[in-house]
Structure 1
Amino acid sequence: MSWSKSRSGTDVVAPGRVVSTEQTLAWSRELAEPALRTAVGTLPVSMRRIAGYHLGWWDRHGTHVPSGGSGKALRPTLVLLSSAAVGGTPRDAVPAAVAVELVHNFSLLHDDVMDGDLTRRHRPTAWSVFGIGSAILAGDALLTLALDVLAASSHPAAGAAMRTLSAAVQDLVEGQCTDMDFEQRSTVDILECENMVAGKTAALIGASCALGAMFGQASQDRVGHLRAFGEQLGLAFQHVDDLLGIWGRPETTGKPVFSDLRNRKKSLPVVAALASDSPAGRELAGLYARTAPLTDDELPHVADLVERAGGREWSRSQADDLMARAVARLDELGQANPVAAELTDMARRLTRRDH
């Protein structure tokens, strides 16, 4: 199955030809990005400038960047595919796709401030260019705009979608708050960390799939199946993201090397390593507990300790298991569903990505 991209605005499913996840993401961006740009264009000038910079559309002076892009567009793609998977028309779900991308970028703007990260997507973060206060306000503007986009869609599911997205944002904020709290604690168990990720990452990915199904006018059962798929995929996605946060290459990920370790974040592989009660795990615990900052020279050794304590292999195994659970939830949509096959392929590729 493949999605063809039509300049006339028609979405066509062409059976029999499998496309790559990159092509599917490109199809999603072509369908949703014009509406995303239109929505951002309604913001006040000051907020529009920061949002457009953060999304990669222009530089700090507001000059268009020809190769600019707003990231992988994973969540909008899940919205559009989930709509198609229940028999809906992806174009009708574009407002939901735009809304989840706005919420996602609201969270990134705030994350970069809280983590003190200086780079994202291979360029300086918005707060490091425009200041902390301005970046926070831009994030707030994107969050408000997301709900406005849903309300303005006049879709029959708009009201329920707004409540679903609002609930996901509350879970995301709670997860982020818990993540920050973990940095101040000496011990965090694996279950606590998984619950944190369920809010911080999985809730919005699950909501993306649910909103797509809702805009496809699916039954509550089918909405629930796709939400569960998204939540399991979100947990797997975070395992991979945490692995890349330690062992990913900055030139590929666009993120600072060892940023999570430098901030002594209790990410999933780190928590598993700390819980191992191995010599490497105990040494890691000592380094995480000390008051002096970790130096650049120490960070590679800290990463090695996480691996020797089993954190890397555990997270890799968990990502594979969660991906399998996510795919199993798609079986409820019917074995012959071609879009479910596309979602399955995307889940597999996302859990084996390098950025």
Structure 2
Amino acid sequence: MTSIDVVAPPRHVLERTRAAVEPVLRAALAELPDETREVVERGLARQDFSTAALVLLAAEAFGDADVAPVAVAMEFAHLHEQLHADLMARAGVWAEFGADRVVSAADALLSLAFARLTKPGVMILNVALMSVVDGYVQEIGMDDETADMSQHLGVAAAKHSSLTAAACELGALAAGASASQAGHLRQFGDDIGLARKHVDDVLAPHDDRRTLAVVAASSANITVDGGRRWCEQQAALLLARAQNHLRQCGARAQAAAELGGLAREVTTARCEPVLPSQPTGRSSTLPVA
């Protein structure tokens, strides 16, 4: 059993990820026309690169393979989904560049992603993307007045867990993990994706009727604050389940610690109150030039 008690600083993990994928990322972007690249670069500026980090850490958990191309592919796939979310919401890059340029950029991202994966990897990513599409289709056809909690959770899982699960599975497989080990990592990513969705909805505006917090409040006849507390509890349970899969997969200790730290950082840690910085005893005033 692998210990995951020692947690590396997640910010360091994300910075290391950006440095590792930068050469592959820049080479890929150079393939794009200027107008398309502008949209993609604007979208990438919003990404925290946690999807790419999951690929790298999942690979480090089992070997020393160079998986930067896979990490970039999954980051592109994640951005593809985000651009379509902007299109659906008529917000974000849609407001800046318009639908035609955003659609072209999203299509280009898929082409770049698939070109950096092996055939088995393409199949895994394709299944994940089909799940995302299915989630959107379910959501479009869902009646807010009659849909129950299980339907909303099904949509959330389809849209928000599939790519994180695929990222973890692809990283593990690329480094030589067994099918069983990769399966545990896939379940880890699946749980983290859904936990992150719960936290996103805790932090979302009160007037968004399709957030899990508002749906929970309506279903249980409680306040929206009560719904948010329920979402926080669910995120904590999902994180605990994810950590259990991490313990069972036989990963290297350091990579497992970093995966556990990153999982917490992108989920439950975002609900914790921000503590004021402690005084150091030194003046923070900068000298005037």
Q: Does the pair score TM above 0.5?
A: yes
**2:86 is aligned with 1:112:** yes
* Paired position in structure 2 for 1:36: 25
Matches within 5 A, 1:335-350: 337-350=253-266
C-alpha contact 1:239 1:315 (8 A) present in aligned 2: yes
Matches within 5 A, 1:225-304: 225-246=184-205, 261-262=207-208, 264=209, 266-278=210-222
**2:146 match: secondary structure:** coil
* Paired position in structure 1 for 2:245: 329
* Paired position in structure 2 for 1:191: 150
CA distance in 2, matches of 1:345, 1:19: 6
**2:141 is aligned with 1:181:** yes
**2:44 is aligned with 1:27:** no
Q: CA deviation at 1:18?
A: 5.9
Equivalent residue letter for 1:96:
V
CA distance in 2, matches of 1:130, 1:269: 32
CA distance in 1, matches of 2:204, 2:184: 30
Q: CA deviation at 1:341?
A: 1.7
CA distance in 2, matches of 1:185, 1:313: 21
* Paired position in structure 2 for 1:45: 34
Q: CA deviation at 1:132?
A: 1.4
Deviation string 1:141-171 (CA, Å, 9 cap, x unpaired) is 1112110122xxxxxxx11111001100000
Q: CA deviation at 1:116?
A: 2.1
CA distance in 2, matches of 1:132, 1:322: 36
Equivalent residue letter for 1:275:
S
**2:47 match: secondary structure:** coil
* Paired position in structure 2 for 1:76: 52
CA distance in 1, matches of 2:44, 2:9: 24
CA distance in 2, matches of 1:335, 1:137: 39
Q: Using a 3 Å threshold, how does the CA distance of structure 1 residues 272 and 18 change in structure 2: closer, same or farther?
A: closer
Q: CA deviation at 1:227?
A: 0.3
Q: Using a 3 Å threshold, how does the CA distance of structure 1 residues 335 and 166 change in structure 2: closer, same or farther?
A: closer
Percentage of identical aligned residues = 36
Matches within 5 A, 1:86-97: 86-89=62-65, 92-97=66-71
C-alpha contact 2:62 2:252 (8 A) present in aligned 1: no
Deviation string 1:215-267 (CA, Å, 9 cap, x unpaired) is 11211111101001100111111101111223xxxxxxxxxxx6xx35x3x22
Q: Using a 3 Å threshold, how does the CA distance of structure 1 residues 335 and 72 change in structure 2: closer, same or farther?
A: closer
Q: CA deviation at 1:34?
A: 2.5
Q: CA deviation at 1:84?
A: 0.5
Deviation string 1:272-329 (CA, Å, 9 cap, x unpaired) is 1110135xxxxxxxxxxxxxxxxxxxxxxxxxx522xx21111000000000000000
Q: Using a 3 Å threshold, how does the CA distance of structure 1 residues 332 and 18 change in structure 2: closer, same or farther?
A: closer
**2:95 is aligned with 1:136:** no
- How does the TM-score come out when normalised to structure 2? 0.86
Which of residues 214, 231, 248 in structure 1 aligns to 2:173?
A: 214
* Paired position in structure 2 for 1:290: none
CA distance in 2, matches of 1:276, 1:213: 40
CA distance in 2, matches of 1:208, 1:38: 21
CA distance in 1, matches of 2:103, 2:129: 16
* Paired position in structure 2 for 1:147: 114
* Paired position in structure 1 for 2:227: 311
**2:116 is aligned with 1:172:** no
- How does the TM-score come out when normalised to structure 1? 0.71
Q: Using a 3 Å threshold, how does the CA distance of structure 1 residues 336 and 140 change in structure 2: closer, same or farther?
A: closer
C-alpha contact 2:36 2:105 (8 A) present in aligned 1: yes
**1:245 match: secondary structure:** coil
**1:185 match: secondary structure:** coil
Q: CA deviation at 1:71?
A: 2.1
Equivalent residue letter for 1:195:
G
- Number of paired residues? 266
Q: CA deviation at 1:20?
A: 0.9
**2:31 match: secondary structure:** coil
Unaligned runs of 5+ in 2: 1-5, 272-289
C-alpha contact 2:181 2:250 (8 A) present in aligned 1: no
Equivalent residue letter for 1:277:
N
